[in-house]
Structure 1
Amino acid sequence: MTGTLEILAAGPMLTVQDRGRTGFLRFGVSASGPMDGEAFAAANALVGNAPGAAALEFALTGGRFRASRDVLVAVTGGAMRAEAGGRPLAPWSSARLRAGEELTVGALRGAVWGYLAVSGGIETPPVMGSRATHLRSAIGGHEGRALRPGDVLPLGPEPGALPRRLTRPLRPRHGPIRVVLGPQDDAFAPEILARFLGASYAVSAQRDRMALLLEGPALPAARGHDITSDGTLMGSVQVPLSGRPIVLMADRQTTGGFPKIATVITPDLGRLAQIPTGAMLRFHALSVEAAEAEARAAARQSAEALADLAPTGA
């Protein structure tokens, strides 16, 4: 049975996201997808959806929602107050929402990006093989834009799962953000690389789905800050003329003309995205081989956590 999800109130940057749009970087179209891939995957697993099903991502505050059929709902990303039909909904767990009842998702605490998954998934029309919203290009999701009150989203067939909860952590919660130096680390003098790895940086308020600007010691490049534009990744740490590092995120531009001093490793991307504005962070460099080993270990930890969901009885 299909159905719909109606947006009654929308928090900031509420968008439809799936795992992302692949195969179009050479055409200047970035992947989009979730800012915190682990939290996104957990939300889908908790309601019985396939890993790539589309869900809703929001910044700081969720909003209010109403489904036209009975569904399971789950909210992940951080701690928050949520209610499904007036009944408390714990974060990182799923619960039943009856047809016509309202789901309310309040403000996140200690995190920035939240995820709301509904059983059956959001089935807006795919664009270039994905339902992910890319706001700057106005493609994907619902009319290529952030959602607002009155929007009605189609739901896919009900998978018939039972309410469940997360029983073990998806990833480490603390520690430095791990990076692989480069690909243009040779543009920086050794003492500047040491400064980058030894200093603390604050997450500034200048952040969105495209990039995250850090405040801290400047990182001047010995040969200047203009390079021939080349490809970027989610996690590329660019350093423009200001010397202030910018970490590129899900909706980044696909090429850039500033030297990239380092690249955040995949397991730490979600944790970085979730660091609150004003909080401090440090970087730690790994070899490529060590980074690959950490990625494999993180993937195993996440898979084991999602395979060990416990019933809630809700």
Structure 2
Amino acid sequence: MEDLDRLRTDCELAAKFWGRTFSALGAVTYREKGVAALGDLWVLLLRQHQSEFYEQGLRKLGIDDGEPPAIKAAKYHYFTNMIGGLTMDYIEESPKKVWIRYTAPMWTYPGTTMLAIPGSLRRRIFTAWHPRNGKLMRCPRLGWVSTKFIMEGEPYDEGYFQEYDRELLPGEEYRFEVVHRTPEFNSAKAPQLDAKIWPEARMLKARRNWSREYVRTTIDCLFQLFGEQITYFIFRQAMRGLAIQYTQELKQDTQVAGADSDAIAKFIVTLLRACNQQFELDRGGAKTRIKLYSFLPFPGHASEELRSAMFEFPVMAARLLNGRVSVIRQAKPEYETWEIDDAGKWLW
């Protein structure tokens, strides 16, 4: 397999894993804390992510600083979400009015999960980022108007950036409008990233990093909202549930056959490699050992509790695939060892 082929496979797998992790964190928060708490989480994480990445993102994406604010804002969302793997529409009605659509299926809540989330949450989510673009670009005339929402039975989330002829008062930067007929998307007229600046390899790595960073930011926001113990609980539940729901699908993606201890070890290391983790593999003797040196999306000094919570995924994945195989973790400050072993008897 050529390097670019391997990168495509790895980044697609990692983006799915991190994306499902992000979705699981939100779903468990909703289950345990309710819709208001999930709304608080979304607002905090989007504003934190925006403050950290928006201005540098405009530069990295090659968006011309001289373009009208509505076009700049819409291009940012179009480009970043396309890089992240979402499907988008972009329509310039005028230099001061630009539409974008987030088309189905939803990346945030895959499958039927979307049907369980109240429409009011989606409306609140859109208060967190899009209306603040004007402030960050120092254009107080720029606002955002939401027109459609998937969670209210529409085929996409839709709205437009509007540059008004006057500075907006506080609260005027965001409003809702019922619009039954909206402009048609023409892909031939959509903006394109510069292929020289954004070759395929960079796009692939950016997609992996984009989904991974949302997990990191979400955990950080959970700490701020609920403290350590509740965050660890939510993270553990998310990783266990993720393994229960998606191990078979992810294993199929890795093209690993079988369910013995060797196959389970191969599945785990394939996922670790795809997620760009740093590790060593030792197949000596009857047991397979993985020495893990990195703990992405967290820094190397991640707490024992975070690392332990993340470990819930391989433990549950092994149990799901083969009730005779155990994965045991031994932690040290600078690395940890995962030992995969067939006990020769049913463990559960």
Q: TM-score, normalised by structure 2?
A: 0.23
Q: TM-score, normalised by structure 1?
A: 0.25
Mark the structure with the bigger radius of gyration: 2
Higher relative contact order (CA 8 A, sep 6+): 1
Q: Which has the higher helix share?
A: 2
